[in-house]
Amino acid sequence: MNNMAYEIEYLKEIFVEYVELVQSQFEKSILILKENNIELIHEVLRNEKRVDSGELTVEKNCENILALFQPVATELRLVTAILKSVSDLERIGDHAKNIAQLAESRLENPIQSSLIEQYNVVGLAKKVSEMAEILIESFEESNSVKASKVFKLDYEINKEYRKILTNLKSDIKENIKFSDDY
């Protein structure tokens, strides 16, 4: 195995570990919403630094491969796909942190489970976890057909997320009573 092949394999390994970390953070944040678990809140908040540093580690390895080996074709596509994906994953990690912070600020008055069900938060979270699983499998198997499923799921998740936001905004407007003074 030449140096570039070794570095590519190492990059794939650390990327899969990063995906698993972010997936774990996200799944824990959904459990926080469902259970209002203070221990999980603190765990997600503690692991936020690992998520941030993991992004930098993966990016640094991508940049090293690009600079030192000038990959072409398959290797170049792999490195650029990882480079693009890592920032999206870090953003998912940020969402997990934000959910934990929201739950922490609402410990005395947790979000009602009926709202979580009404907006299908758990269903959306399951799709995000499924997408992460497919992403990991596609990298471990070097399977581009599975990787293309990630794009389809991403589209579905974004569509469902926009629908939730639209419904939430509409519900908020309907429930706000404005005073005549304004």
pLDDT tens digit sequence for 84-127: 889 989 999 999 999 999 999 988 888 888 888 888 888 988 99
The tokens for 166 are: 């639209």
pTM for this one? 0.85
As a whole number of angstroms, the distance between CA 139 and CA 145 comes to 11
Q: Say how many Å lie between the first and final Cα of the chain, rounded.
A: 72
